[in-house]
Structure 1
Amino acid sequence: MTTGIGDFATQLHELKERSGLSYGTLATRLHVSTSTLHRYCNGGAVPGDYAPVERFARLCGASHEELLTLHRRWLLADAARRERSASAAEAEAVPAPAPDAAPAPAPEAAPEAAPLAESAARARRPRRRIAAVLAAAAALAVVAALALHSALADEGPAAGPRPTATATAAPTSTAPAPLQVSVLADNWNTPCDQWFLLAQQPAKVPPPPEVRQANGWADALGGTPAGKLRLELTVQGAPGRPVVLHTLSVRETGNRPAPRGIGYTTGSGCGGALTPASFDVDLDAAAPRTKAVPGFAGKDQARVVADFPFQVTASDAQVLDVAARTADRDVSWYLEILWSCGDRQGTLRVDDHGKPFRTVGLAGDPAYFYNGTAWEPTSVAAFS
């Protein structure tokens, strides 16, 4: 057993033992056979896809750091598996001659055919070994790049004055990202925490529409998302290989004191539930970053924290809820997703149709909610 496959199998076995779950229970939840799980955990086989590995680890209660380590080990184990398969194919392609078989005479019309065929066979064998070595080297390069990015993200920027603008980082892959992201704003089916800053007095503000139409209503009045801007990102892979999502970063392009105005919320109460993968962004921090927070999968269901990495395919999307908040600033910002697919990696910018998102604070501003017939004074805290 190679070191890459051994390390991968050892971590799987340790996660399984720590969870206290049986092979039968895990196999049923993962929709695989018990014998297949045994082979994964003893190094007898390596999954060709990372998705079942991640599901196995999450069922066993793996931490964020353990998921990152497991993904790196799977890359190395998968490279070793492909190298071993290439070697086996090479052995099958060149069978040993029969003990007493007489060599067949070469055709008279082409006396050099046999030497050329033998030379071609010798040339093909090194190419197979070179291809296997190159595949392993590519996997190691991805591991090194992801480890470097993780170390830089953990270190974070040095403390200092808040920048007024940040530059867009160039992607590490020039080809289009093999994933798609659709963005919906304030669509969590609840008016709770959905605020807009307007210049008009309540008598000049028309009644609000239903929640899903509130953004268009506010845009028509010159309003700006206030207090907290909530986004729902649906990330889906393109047809082909699975794509791993490693981090979600926040980039500021502008930061200044919030303008004065009046805060309006379209509802008269709070409620609803967040999808499991929920993230909070404090735009007032010196270096804003996404933070995984508990969300609700539904009424009476357990609170869960889902954090990176995630994997997406063309048929298996991942929903990410992001709530970016500020108390008294006017912040322009966008998001970046770090992804990898095989030996490719890069960053994908997520913004408002080519423009940064914008969120303004409400500290010190008067606030109103709609009680069904008229605008009524309230406080922002009452709807948070």
Structure 2
Amino acid sequence: MSEAENFARLMRELKERGGLSYGALARRLHTSTSTLHRYCNGDALPAEFAVVDRFARACGASPGEAVDLHRAWLLADARRRAGAPPGPGPGLESEAESGPESDSEPAVVVVGEPAVVAEPAGGRPWYRRRAAVVAGAGVAAGAVAVALLAAAGPEPRAPRAGAWTGTGSGPGAGTTAPGASAGASGTASAPASAPGTTTTPEPSPPAGGPGPASVPPSASPPVPAPPRAPAAPLRAAVRSHVWTAGCDHAYLSERGPGAVPAPPVEADAPAWASAQRAVHAGKQIVEVTLHGTGPGAVVLEDLQVRVSGRRTPPAWNVYEMSQGCGGALTPAVFAVNLDAPRPLARPVAGNDAGDTLPAPAFPMRVSAAEPVVLRVEAVTTGCDCDWSLDLRWSAPSGSGTLRIDDDGRPLRTSAAPGRPVYGYTTDQGRWGR
């Protein structure tokens, strides 16, 4: 099996396992359906690895599978270049040449989509860099390609739970911040060489003087590791089980009322819901307390809602934590309608015993001495939704995005239309309708 055939086989296996159509994948890769067909059939090879990287992410490839796909592409690209004249050869197709095709298939939502990675001005992601030695001939070129892959390491993936990375102008956005909450993570990009940059040859030394050390044609120059980015200057504490007035909330659970214990107090709700495999029913309130970790202030710029999955609500029972409660305080919040095609975090004013509480508004300032609490109320009447929040920030050291989720997993809120509703009777010690 040739290098190109092996690369096409890996792409087909990932596509079949991911369950996405060619049209849906083509839209996510910003290419045409026919071009993607040629990639998976071995009739064409992507001009750059960026489209392959997006393909692996969209299909849910593991880190090991992404590395195997990268290696296969490098070997196939080295073989193609070794047997082709300078310039694009047969079987090479770029996204700019093919362009996206219009497709009538419905959009497919990929659960767990990684955060968008920003590129610094004038730079390109490291995986777009090409070593000139890849143009070597024959089997030697393939060996060099594998060496480059081993030196560069696996492709950048979506950050794990608790990882903090910056995305902007500061040097090195990607270092884990001390004390970061496991429920918040960021996105980053490392600076790289500018597209189209040409290298100026070194001037010849004076006659008789020492010249630069010669490099054997078959040797590969060392590939420098991307510079480390600064730690994000924020620390977040996320509460995903907040009840209205401390008592009013409802959960969905597939268990019958005889198998569900008495409702807990709000502080014990996370453990209770986890034991019952319960899901927030109809509404979920999330509170995020933010502290600065450095001497300076951080500016919070915007809060964006990211829905990563929509399903039909499960046919489970609804368990109400209280038969009714309330208070004189209605906090100001960011309201989110998860049923909207593109949900927004909409500022809503509150009320304290008749006095209006102003709606929250960006930008906000946060520091070590001045924490900020964000309260988000998400509702749904039609879907079982996976969602998260992206908080954009900026500071003198750089800028970035902070991912707010449920301890590294998406937040989950489900509608409960027409489901049986149970309340707990304390004097009888059981759930009843």
Give TM-score scaled by structure 2 length: 0.47
Q: Which has the higher helix share?
A: 1
**1:262 — aligned with what?**
317
Match of 2:373 among 292, 313, 319: 319
Please report how far the alpha carbon of residue 161 of structure 1 lies from its aligned counterpart in structure 2 after TM superposition.
Answer: 4.9
For residues 170-225 of structure 1, the C-alpha deviation after alignment (integer angstroms, 9 at most, x for no partner) is 25231221111101123356356511111122232221122221231121112112
Name the CA shift for 1:234/1:275 in 2 (closer, same or farther; >3 Å). Answer: farther
Asked if residue 163 in structure 1 is aligned to residue 217 in structure 2, the reply is no
Please report how far the alpha carbon of residue 365 of structure 1 lies from its aligned counterpart in structure 2 after TM superposition.
Answer: 0.9
SS of the residue corresponding to residue 308 of structure 1 reads coil
Asked if residue 212 in structure 1 is aligned to residue 267 in structure 2, the reply is yes
Please report how far the alpha carbon of residue 235 of structure 1 lies from its aligned counterpart in structure 2 after TM superposition.
Answer: 1.1
**1:310 — aligned with what?**
364
For residues 113-135 of structure 1, the C-alpha deviation after alignment (integer angstroms, 9 at most, x for no partner) is xxxxxxxxxxxxxxxxxxxxxxx
Match of 2:167 among 164, 172, 175: 172
Report the Cα distance in structure 2 between the residues aligned to 1:310 and 1:364, rounded to whole angstroms.
41
Q: Aligned letter for 1:236?
A: H
Report the Cα distance in structure 2 between the residues aligned to 1:189 and 1:262, rounded to whole angstroms.
20
Tell whether the 8 Å contact from 1:264 to 1:368 is kept in structure 2 after alignment: yes
Please report how far the alpha carbon of residue 269 of structure 1 lies from its aligned counterpart in structure 2 after TM superposition.
Answer: 1.1
Superposed counterparts of 1:212-291, under 5 Å: 212-272=267-327, 273-276=329-332, 278-291=333-346
Match of 1:186 among 241, 249, 255: 241
Name the CA shift for 1:234/1:294 in 2 (closer, same or farther; >3 Å). Answer: same
What is the root-mean-square deviation in Å for CA atoms of aligned residues?
Answer: 2.1
**1:357 — aligned with what?**
411
For residues 231-280 of structure 1, the C-alpha deviation after alignment (integer angstroms, 9 at most, x for no partner) is 1111111131110101111112211111110111111213143444x111
Tell whether the 8 Å contact from 1:250 to 1:335 is kept in structure 2 after alignment: yes
Report the Cα distance in structure 1 between the residues aligned to 2:340 and 2:109, rounded to whole angstroms.
11
Tell whether the 8 Å contact from 2:253 to 2:278 is kept in structure 1 after alignment: yes
Any stretches of 5+ residues in structure 2 without a counterpart? 1-105, 118-165, 174-229
Report the Cα distance in structure 2 between the residues aligned to 1:162 and 1:274, rounded to whole angstroms.
38
Superposed counterparts of 1:1-384, under 5 Å: 161=107, 163-165=109-111, 166-170=113-117, 172-173=167-168, 174=173, 175-188=230-243, 190=245, 193-272=248-327, 273-276=329-332, 278-296=333-351, 298-342=352-396, 344-373=398-427, 374-377=430-433
Name the CA shift for 1:269/1:325 in 2 (closer, same or farther; >3 Å). Answer: same
Give TM-score scaled by structure 1 length: 0.52
For residues 261-308 of structure 1, the C-alpha deviation after alignment (integer angstroms, 9 at most, x for no partner) is 0111111213143444x1111111101121111223x43432421211
Please report how far the alpha carbon of residue 369 of structure 1 lies from its aligned counterpart in structure 2 after TM superposition.
Answer: 2.0
Q: Aligned letter for 2:431?
A: W
SS of the residue corresponding to residue 302 of structure 1 reads strand
Name the CA shift for 1:176/1:239 in 2 (closer, same or farther; >3 Å). Answer: closer
Name the CA shift for 1:328/1:192 in 2 (closer, same or farther; >3 Å). Answer: farther
Report the Cα distance in structure 2 between the residues aligned to 1:343 and 1:214, rounded to whole angstroms.
38
Report the Cα distance in structure 1 between the residues aligned to 2:425 and 2:270, rounded to whole angstroms.
19
Please report how far the alpha carbon of residue 330 of structure 1 lies from its aligned counterpart in structure 2 after TM superposition.
Answer: 1.4
Name the CA shift for 1:336/1:185 in 2 (closer, same or farther; >3 Å). Answer: same
Name the CA shift for 1:204/1:196 in 2 (closer, same or farther; >3 Å). Answer: same
SS of the residue corresponding to residue 315 of structure 1 reads coil
Tell whether the 8 Å contact from 1:226 to 1:263 is kept in structure 2 after alignment: yes
Q: Aligned letter for 2:426?
A: G
Q: Aligned letter for 2:273?
A: A
Report the Cα distance in structure 1 between the residues aligned to 2:380 and 2:108, rounded to whole angstroms.
14
SS of the residue corresponding to residue 186 of structure 1 reads strand
Tell which structure's C-alpha radius of gyration is larger. 1
Report the Cα distance in structure 2 between the residues aligned to 1:258 and 1:315, rounded to whole angstroms.
43
Q: Aligned letter for 1:313?
A: S
**Amino-acid identity (%):** 35
Report the Cα distance in structure 2 between the residues aligned to 1:309 and 1:162, rounded to whole angstroms.
33
SS of the residue corresponding to residue 355 of structure 2 reads coil
